[in-house]
Amino acid sequence: MKAIIYVFSGTGNTKRICSLYKDEFEKNGVDTTLFSVTSDMSDLPHPADFDLVGFAYPIHAFNAPNIMLKLAKAIDKVSNKEIFILKSSGEPLKINNISSLKFMGIMKKKGYVLKSEYHYVMPYDMIFRHTDREAVKMWETAKALAPVEAREVLAGKEHKLKRIFLGGFIAWVMRIEHPTMRWNGRSFRVNKDKCIMCRKCEKNCPVNNIRIDEDGKFHFAGDCLMCTRCSFGCPTDAFSIGILNNWRINGAYPLDKTVDDSVPEPKHHHHWYCKKAYIKYFKNAELKINQEK
């Protein structure tokens, strides 16, 4: 048995989730490929060659990133091929359930059928920075929950996320993010006093939107996805990301560190942000995890 997950991951959260699925699939004898989605879609693996087919992405403005819509348009047609979707975001709001509507609208026309869909909360890579304790809790929850839900996928269990009222309209309105971010990407700037010319941003951009010429000058094209891989991963925090610069976050979270719960953590000014939704997410995740014990 073979599986493939076509994954686009901006700063790595979604890829981490997919790695958990890969580990669980392979524990159950399923040879699993994680295919990284980039702007080069000239040689996509054919979904018909795999028994299990998944698609994974971070949620952008309550939608799939534009690169996933391009993937849906580029991928080969099949007949009644069941698929699953994995997605991640920084908050567990129900409005995130609408994020696959446009993606699946394209995929259905190509013969794909959505069997199951799962959403994981992982720390923000823009808007604001979660505390280390919050980030570790999100990752620890995902590490326990994802294998349970991976086994659901293997068992062929149907799992759908509830639609919200006017969800299709909201998703349509929010897709203004796609052209806006392409425009905004042209306004990126790099602080030359901070830049160490490691070229990490240029090498890692999934859509080749960053070019550094022989004189060390940065050039930004009009294909930006606002995945923030460049600014988040800059080792010297040298990036300015245009109109969203006040939401910029730099530097990886210490997801695998040990947190001492007995030590009080200072409350930050986002302490009450979506508090009820987070409590509900972690409670439901714990219930599902414990069902198997």
- Give tens-digit pLDDT for 114-157: 999 999 999 999 999 999 999 999 999 999 999 999 999 999 99
The reported pLDDT for the residue numbered 202 is 96
Say which CATH topology domain 181-247 has.
Answer: Alpha-Beta Plaits (3.30.70)
- State how far the Cα of 30 lies from the Cα of 21, in Å rounded to an integer: 11
- State how far the Cα of 206 lies from the Cα of 24, in Å rounded to an integer: 27
Q: Could you tell me if 17 and 88 are in contact, meaning their C-beta atoms sit under 8 angstroms apart?
A: yes
Every domain of the chain with CATH number 3.40.50.360 lies at 2-173+282-291
pTM given for the model = 0.94
Residue 293's pLDDT band (cuts 50, 70, 90)? low
Q: Is the pLDDT of residue 106 over 80?
A: yes
Residue 31's pLDDT band (cuts 50, 70, 90)? very high
The reported pLDDT for the residue numbered 27 is 98
**Element of type H or E holding 55:** strand 52-58
Residue 258's pLDDT band (cuts 50, 70, 90)? confident
How do 81-89 and 112-121 pair as beta strands?
parallel
Q: Is the pLDDT of residue 200 over 90?
A: yes
Residue 89's pLDDT band (cuts 50, 70, 90)? very high
Q: Is the pLDDT of residue 58 over 70?
A: yes
Q: Where are the alpha helices (DSSP H) in the chain?
A: 13-27, 66-74, 101-109, 132-154, 167-174, 177-185, 200-204, 229-232, 275-291
Q: Is the pLDDT of residue 281 over 90?
A: yes
- State how far the Cα of 4 lies from the Cα of 22, in Å rounded to an integer: 9
Closest by CA to 288, choosing from 92, 162, 138, 144, is: 144
The whole-number average pLDDT for the span 244-258 is: 93
Q: Could you tell me if 256 and 235 are in contact, meaning their C-beta atoms sit under 8 angstroms apart?
A: no
The CATH code for residues 2-173+282-291 is 3.40.50.360
**Element of type H or E holding 117:** strand 112-121
Q: Is the pLDDT of residue 246 over 70?
A: yes
Every domain of the chain with CATH number 3.30.70.20 lies at 181-247
Q: What percent of the chain has pLDDT over 90?
A: 91
Q: Is the pLDDT of residue 180 over 80?
A: yes
The reported pLDDT for the residue numbered 269 is 74
Q: Is the pLDDT of residue 265 over 90?
A: no
Q: Higher-confidence residue: 176 or 291?
A: 176
**Element of type H or E holding 31:** strand 31-36
The reported pLDDT for the residue numbered 158 is 96
- State how far the Cα of 209 lies from the Cα of 225, in Å rounded to an integer: 9
How do 210-212 and 189-190 pair as beta strands?
unpaired
Structure tokens at 60: 């952008």
Closest by CA to 126, choosing from 68, 175, 58, is: 58
- State how far the Cα of 32 lies from the Cα of 25, in Å rounded to an integer: 7
